[in-house]
Every structure is written in C-alpha cells, then in structure tokens.
Chain A
Amino acid sequence: MKRLSILFVAFLAMILAQPTELKAQDAEGGDALIGVWEPSHGKARIKIDKIADKYYGRIVWLKEPNDPDTGEPKLDKNNPDESMQSAPLRGYRMLKDFEYMGDGEWDGGTIYDPENGKTYSSVIKLKDNSTLDIRGYIGVKTFGRTDEWKRLEIKKK
C-alpha cells in the first residue's frame, strides 16, 4: 500500500512538473530568434531582441549608410507619416510584435519595407539555427513573398 502511495505521488509530481518544463522549453525555443540576421540582399543587418514577451528587429547595419544625394545618413523618407520621416534608417525597428507559436514559428508580427514605406503582415519560420524564412504578405499568407535570412555569427575577441 505504501509503495502504491509513493508511486501515485511520483506520478502526480511528474504530471504537475511537465507543463512547467514544456513552458520553459517553449520560452527557450522562442529566444532562438534573438540575434543578428542578414537578409538575402545583404544590404542590411537586423538585430532581433525580445521586449515584453514579443520579438522585435532593428536595422543595426547598412551596407550604404549614407544617402548618395545628400551624403547624410539615410532617413526613413518613405514613411507615410511625414512627422516620422526624419528618423534614420539605421536603428529602425522594421520587425514588430512577433509572438512565438511553438515549433520554430513566430507569427502575428509585421515587417516594414523602408524602400516603399509599406508595412506587411509577417510570419517567421526557423529552418535551422542559422537560417530563417521570413514571409511578408497582405491579408492572406498565400499571397506574399518569402526571403531567407542568415544568422550573423559575431566573432568574439
């Protein structure tokens, strides 16, 4: 009887512990997105970080940081909000509000294209630890474009 009770308690503890463990694994899985990534065009690098349990990406490096016409740092001149056109592109938060859905997928976010000032719904899928597919779309996921980004390995001194 005593043995049965111990077994029952152990079984109960196992059941109770499992969701917490899964949740912890889930959170860790979500953080796999954190890092610096380079889109396929290679003209920019985007650093993804986590704020208030969501994932956001900023442009931290531009191949051509200055506007060839002015020689000054490139600004977000295509932003539909005129009052925000003085914001520089370097540091621009172009990925917003991604939530981890599990299974290497982040959804519910948006991606901003500074070349046309448009914002698209977006979903990110991690293919492997150093490659992700990011899809921008309007309305339905079927109609959109996918780009492959590579993780940038920061060489430690």
Chain B
Amino acid sequence: MKKLTYLSICLLFLMMASCDSTEMKTIRTASVEMTEEYPMEGSNTLTGIWQVDLDGITIDRVKSAKVTSIKVKMREPAKSDLLEEIIMQLAAKDTDMQRVGVLNPVPPNQSAIDFSIASKQNNLIDLLKQSEITFVADVNLQEDLPGELSIVAEIEFELEVKQ
C-alpha cells in the first residue's frame, strides 16, 4: 500500500512536471526599414513598423520572451561615420516602450552592425501580443545630413514556449 502511494505521488509529480515543461524557440523579425528624412545634427529618431509574426507560435503558449540579438544594416555605410550612437527601443500602442539595445560607439564605415543587448529586460510578452511593433532607434548625428538616413533592423527574440 505504501509503495502504491509512493508510486502515485511520483506519477503525479511527473504529470505536473510534463504539463509545465517548456522549450526555447528563437524567432527573427522580418527586415524592418527605419528612416528619418533630413536628419539634423544632434538627436534624431528613426522608426519602422514590424507586423508581428511569431512563426506559427500562438502567443498563449509563450511563457516569456526577450531580445537576444539586434542586427542593423546601413543603407549607406559611409554615413555610419556620422552616427555617434544608436539606442534601440520597441514600442506598441497598448504596452510600454522597452529599451532593448545600445550601440556606442558606432563602428565607422560598416554595413552590418551587432548591438549590445540590455541585460535587464522586462518580459516582452505584452509587446508580442500586439499586431504591430514600432522599432524606435534614437541616434545622435555629428552633422546635418541632406536626404535621408536609413537603416534596416532585424531583431531576434528568444521565446520560452509551453509544450
């Protein structure tokens, strides 16, 4: 009898553990073009919109989410010399803006750049529940730029998904 009780408890624990088990999945956003026309010396903001696509994962199954990588490509690498730094944030209508990465200094004359990722991030689930997310890049420019400044960003999220 004692053995049966012990077995039942073990089975129960096993069932509970399997119900709660999760796996880590990585999704990458589409390339989002972020543009500012006629940026001026000093502080400027580049924005672009990502239509949220979780690669077939339903948001109800996501337990937690965080940014693990931000890659930015310069449309015109020569202009990267004029950028002092870039701070990347994510904003959406029904949630708070999240700062997810910083690049300071910006390496000169490079077409593709990797960001330092914020080590303290809130759970980004609420953000991913939105239909669209605005990528917001704050940049400081050394001088006025005629025309436009354009970068393309891809962000990688790590999702903890319930099985």
Contact B119–A51 (Cβ < 8 Å): no
Q: How far is the CB of A80 from chain B (nearest CB, A)?
A: 7
Contact B96–A93 (Cβ < 8 Å): no
- Given A52-B134, A87-B85, A88-B85 in contact, is the A93-B118 Cβ separation under 8 Å? no
Judge if A25 is at the interface, Cβ distance under 8 Å: no
**A26: chain B residues within 8 A (beta carbon):** none
Name A81's contact: one of B47, B120, B138 (CB within 8 Å).
B120
**B45: chain A residues within 8 A (beta carbon):** 49, 51, 58
Contact B99–A84 (Cβ < 8 Å): yes
Judge if B140 is at the interface, Cβ distance under 8 Å: yes
Band of interface residues on B: 20 to 34
**A54: chain B residues within 8 A (beta carbon):** 91, 93, 97
| Least CB separation from B138: chain A residue | A91
Q: How far is the CB of A67 from chain B (nearest CB, A)?
A: 14
What is the interface of chain B mostly: helix, strand, loop, or mixed? strand
Contact A93–B99 (Cβ < 8 Å): yes
CB neighbors of B among A60-98 (8 A): 60-61, 73, 80-84, 86-88, 90-93, 96-97
**A37: chain B residues within 8 A (beta carbon):** none
- Given A83-B119, A83-B120 in contact, is the A90-B91 Cβ separation under 8 Å? no
**B139: chain A residues within 8 A (beta carbon):** 91
What is the interface of chain A mostly: helix, strand, loop, or mixed? strand
Contact B118–A56 (Cβ < 8 Å): no
Contact A93–B85 (Cβ < 8 Å): no
**A84: chain B residues within 8 A (beta carbon):** 99, 102, 118, 120
CB neighbors of A among B91-121 (8 A): 91-93, 96-97, 99, 102, 104, 116-120
Q: How far is the CB of B91 from chain A (nearest CB, A)?
A: 5
Band of interface residues on A: 20 to 34
Judge if B18 is at the interface, Cβ distance under 8 Å: no
Mask of B113-138 contacts with A, CB within 8 angstroms, 1/0:
00011111000000000000010101
Judge if A124 is at the interface, Cβ distance under 8 Å: no
Q: How far is the CB of B40 from chain A (nearest CB, A)?
A: 10
Judge if B87 is at the interface, Cβ distance under 8 Å: yes
| Least CB separation from A83: chain B residue | B119
Leading 3 A-B pairs by shortest Cβ distance: A81-B120, A91-B43, A83-B119
**Chain B contacts to A: CB under 8 angstroms:** 42-43, 45, 47, 84-85, 87, 89, 91-93, 96-97, 99, 102, 104, 116-120, 134, 136, 138-140
